[in-house]
Structure 1
Amino acid sequence: MKSGKEEEKPMNEEIAVVLGGHGKTATLHDSAEIVIYKKTGRQWSLLKAMPFCIGEVFNLHQLRLKMKELIAFLGECKVLAALSVSGAPYFELEKHGYAIWEIKGKPPAFLQMILDEETESACREDGLDEKPGPAAEEVYPGHLRISLHGMQGCGNGLSSKQILQPILKKGEFLTLEILCDHAPPWLVAKILSGELRGVVEKIAGNESRILIAYSK
């Protein structure tokens, strides 16, 4: 540990999951339950739960009240996993610093994978890990392509944001083509807000292609 820095607190080993029927992940718009799991030793156990659904919310004020209720319930837990999160709920959670995971399945199967990636992501942000991500290839002058296939949700310590943000910040492209298992919600949010110019397309199966146009 570097001198002159306070000792960092260990990462909070709690993960909230949006659960629907049959104990599988659901969206915030479904009739669902928010369940917070906590890791103690090597085991994951249910810490607390509450019913939650924004399916009947019809205006922005009501939505913000529901999200305020959710954030109060989450407390110190800063990681939320769901089948999908988009639109205003995504913006509200991101604004309050939550890590948002889109994942299909039943806990606790994926909880350790999420915790491992969040821990490695925190290390990268602190400059403690320099694991390289996949490189973008220049298909033809000014046009880059990068594939995230096999990278999303596999617990390799690299998030889509960590891989793509350096490329987007450099802006050394006319168009950037991103091939992925699913469209990262943070990137979709930037497109919808107008921060980035781009389109999201569904291609074969559950795969997606995102085309980003460079803009100053």
Structure 2
Amino acid sequence: MKIAACIDEAGTVSTLNRTAAICLFGRENSGWTEQDRIAFDLASNPTLAERKAVLRDLATRLGDCRVLLTAGEVGIVPAILQEELGFRLWRSEGDLAEQLDSVAAHEAEVAEKAAKAALSPPIPIPTAPLGLGGGCGGGGSPRRRGGPAPTAEILAQAKVALEIVGDPADSRFRLDLAALLDSGAGLNSRDILVPILVGPPFRSLEILCDHPPRWLAETAAGLGLIVTIESLDEGVRVTVTRRNSA
């Protein structure tokens, strides 16, 4: 297995915004071995175009390695790495070897879950509009009527910590996407949001993030969802609702 790590001049794991090197490590019988060291400096490349060019060059230099250990990232840089270049970002603590071992263990866990998910039946995409009633007679289950799914079912489907907004029966949720992406869990916005968007119906989902995921608007439109964006003092609030929802 190969893991890239952002290392500063003192030899400790650093953030990408500091002048450092990206070291590529491979695990062998004797432990972790440094296989390559790539000079890396975002500070002298302040514009978005320059930073994208530096990150694309880094991705090319790292070959098929898309696992990156840093001291924690915020802003546009992790978004580019995850959304456009397919990296999984991790943050850990301890000495370097311990952190590499920790990332490797988490990567193995993610791979195992992905393998199990691949064997599971696909999640159906809900197409019925969200309604409050069941029509004449009021019979049938909420799912068949297109009504809100039980809160517990949505929470289980999401596999992330959703905050319930208001009455749980209203199926309104809030998700701090920025915090999840910065948690070092190795997830990107697609990993987190797609299971929610294609899962059991909800009335609204507030997403707190540094910027709207670039893929979200098109994907949401294809699922019959409406996306609105509101600027906050820090970041943005993206609200996803279903058409005809109250």
TM-score of the two chains, using structure 1 as the length reference: 0.63
1:120 is matched with which residue: 109, 117, 133? 109
* Secondary structure, counterpart of 1:100 in structure 2: strand
1:28 Cα deviation from its structure 2 partner: 2.0
Residues 121-149 of structure 1, C-alpha deviations (whole Å, 9 max, x = no match): 23333326879835745641233357999
Residue type of the alignment partner of 1:76: D
CA contact (8 A) 1:24 1:105 kept: no
CA contact (8 A) 2:6 2:14 kept: yes
Matched, 1:190 2:178: no
Counterpart for residue 173 of structure 1: 203
Please identify the structure whose Cα radius of gyration is greater: 2
Residues 176-210 of structure 1, C-alpha deviations (whole Å, 9 max, x = no match): 478xxxxxxxx6443588746467899xxxxxxx9
1:101 Cα deviation from its structure 2 partner: 2.4
Listed as ranges, the matches of 1:30-109 within 5 Å are 30-41=18-29, 43-82=31-70, 83-84=72-73, 86-88=75-77, 90-92=79-81, 94-103=83-92, 106-109=95-98
Counterpart for residue 184 of structure 1: none
2:240 and 2:196 map into 1 onto residues whose CA distance is 11
Q: Check 1:212–1:129 CA distance in 2 against 1; reply closer, same or farther (3 A cut).
A: farther
Counterpart for residue 9 of structure 1: none
2:204 and 2:98 map into 1 onto residues whose CA distance is 41
TM-score of the two chains, using structure 2 as the length reference: 0.57
Counterpart for residue 111 of structure 1: 100
* Secondary structure, counterpart of 2:202 in structure 1: coil
Counterpart for residue 239 of structure 2: 213
Residue type of the alignment partner of 1:121: V
Percent of aligned pairs with the same amino acid: 20
Counterpart for residue 206 of structure 1: none
Residue type of the alignment partner of 1:166: P
Structure 1 stretches of 5 or more lacking a match? 1-12, 179-186, 203-209
1:78 Cα deviation from its structure 2 partner: 1.4
CA contact (8 A) 2:5 2:23 kept: yes
Residue type of the alignment partner of 1:36: L
Residue type of the alignment partner of 1:174: S
Structure 2 stretches of 5 or more lacking a match? 121-155, 218-226
* Secondary structure, counterpart of 2:24 in structure 1: strand
2:43 and 2:95 map into 1 onto residues whose CA distance is 22
**Equivalent residues, number:** 188
CA contact (8 A) 2:205 2:241 kept: no
Residue type of the alignment partner of 2:22: I
Write 1 or 2 for the structure with the bigger share of strand: 1
CA contact (8 A) 1:134 1:147 kept: no
CA contact (8 A) 2:88 2:188 kept: no
Listed as ranges, the matches of 1:154-173 within 5 Å are 162=191, 164-170=193-199, 172-173=202-203
Matched, 1:17 2:5: yes
